[in-house]
Structure 1
Amino acid sequence: MIKLVIVDDHAVVRSGLSMLLNAKEDLEVVGEAADGDEGIRLALEHRPNVVLMDLSMPHGKDGMTATKELKEAAPETFVLILTMHDDDEYLFRAIHAGASGYILKSAPHEELLNAIRSVASGQAYLNPSATKRLMGEYMDRMRSGEGGGSLEALSDREKEIVSHVARGYSNKEIAEQLTISVKTVETHKANVMEKLGLKTRPELVKYAMKKGLLNFE
């Protein structure tokens, strides 16, 4: 039996998901929460196999923060992000927060059920459209060399900035962690983007993953 906790700020969504999941012999919803704080509490209380986590919740902790904190407190619990955000930046941030899967709320029921079972078995899951898009972009960059500027062109401080950006930190948070000004962070980011030939934050995140900068200290 796969036990689940649903975290979503919409009661109708929680109710619909509970009805769908509880109708399956191998699935059981053991808790429902309207925000990240309550989701963490229920997950630590019930120790589910999988937490279905929304990202955008206006009250309490958002899904990204809750995922990170939950994985630190209960690493054996898998988190499957269920969201309306079909966006590469959200996807990368969710993965680095500790999520094992990412699926859209518009996905068919069978896809959701497959994602839950995959994540519960310890496998990673990305919705097919995201997988296809990311692989296509990666192959295009490999062929064209776009966004493949030399890592040696970056200073250690710039590598630090890239690492923090890729892990989802804001300019203010980066400035506080590195004990520099927000203006300095912005300057470093602009220099990095120019050196690497990148234009957007998601491109910078992908570059950091490709070059192994996510854990650069």
Structure 2
Amino acid sequence: MTTSASDQNRLRVALVERHPLLRAGIRAALDSAGGIDLVAEAGEAGHVVPMVLGAAPDVVLLDLDLPGSASLEVCRTLVRDAGVTGILGMTGRGDDAGLLRSALMAGVRGYVSKSAGAHEMVGAVHMVGNGFIVAGGGAARLVTGLLRAPGRSAELDAPLTVLTRREREILDLVARGYDNRRIARALTLAEKTVRNHVSAVFAKIGVNCRAQAVVYGREAGMGLTGRL
């Protein structure tokens, strides 16, 4: 059967939320939204990785309030072992700067409050699915502060000196929130070439995922004109 262009543009979303009633409400919002297919659901941390490996979603809408540090461990595992890049975190704890930073460093690419309206939540899903880093509601100011810390430290500058000019360009665009396809278009490079450069940059600056590279680059003063 031939896949249409409209089908190819639809976002596949996996939902992880421990509270059944809240999960049902989010499910209803996603089901009624255009361009989204809810492909899997889970309520416990232990079910998430096998679910994601089986469903291959574009976005994982993840409860950040799972018991203990389960949510952050799930993020790290999804990024490291499943190659997931589109993780959108949800929390009912309010605008917690410590949680935000930990989630970003674990691989989360977006943050939205569980009290957000359907329009805001669906919009955040679309943004993360299209490669942006996003924050809902009042968290936007906190995320911007975390990612735009002023000045450079000697600790940050040292690894940057081993980057080539091209690798610095790549890191700057990563810090703006560009995915590999957008970087390839911006620099007129093949996407495979960009992937190779990104891997080299990650190795040189000592990070394991794109979210860590964004935080690192922003704290080193890069990507400040990019869109959050």
Q: Pick the TM interval, shorter chain.
A: 0.5 to 0.7
Correspondence for 1:119: 128
Whether contact under 8 Å (1:6, 1:39) holds in the other structure is no
Instruction: Specify which structure has the bigger relative contact order, considering alpha-carbon pairs within 8 angstroms and separated by 6 or more residues.
Output: 2
The alignment covers a number of residue pairs equal to 152
Give 1:25 deviation, angstroms: 3.0
Residue 92 of structure 2: aligned partner:
84
Gaps of 5+ in 1: 143-147, 153-205, 213-217
Unaligned runs of 5+ in 2: 1-9, 156-214, 222-228
Of 31, 54, 76, the match for 1:68: 76
Indicate whether 1:97 and 2:98 are aligned. no
TM-score, with length taken from structure 1: 0.61
Shift in CA distance, 109/56, structure 1 to aligned 2, threshold 3 Å: same
Q: Distance in 1 between matches of 2:141 and 2:73?
A: 27
Q: Is the 8 A contact 2:147 2:219 kept in 1?
A: no
Distance 1:79 1:132 in 2: 20
**Structure 2 counterparts to residues 23-42 of structure 1, below 5 A:** 23-42=32-51
The letter for the 2-side match of 1:73 is D
Range 84-93 or range 130-139, more displaced: 130-139
Tell me, in whole angstroms, the C-alpha distance in 2 between the residues paired with 1:130 and 1:80: 13
Inter-CA distance 62–24: structure 2 relative to 1 (3 Å threshold): same
Q: 1:168 is matched with which residue?
A: none
1:35–1:62 Cα contact (<8 Å) kept: no
Q: CA RMSD in A?
A: 3.0
Larger Rg: 1
Q: Distance in 2 between matches of 1:21 and 1:92?
A: 27
Using structure 2 for the length normalisation, give the TM-score. 0.58
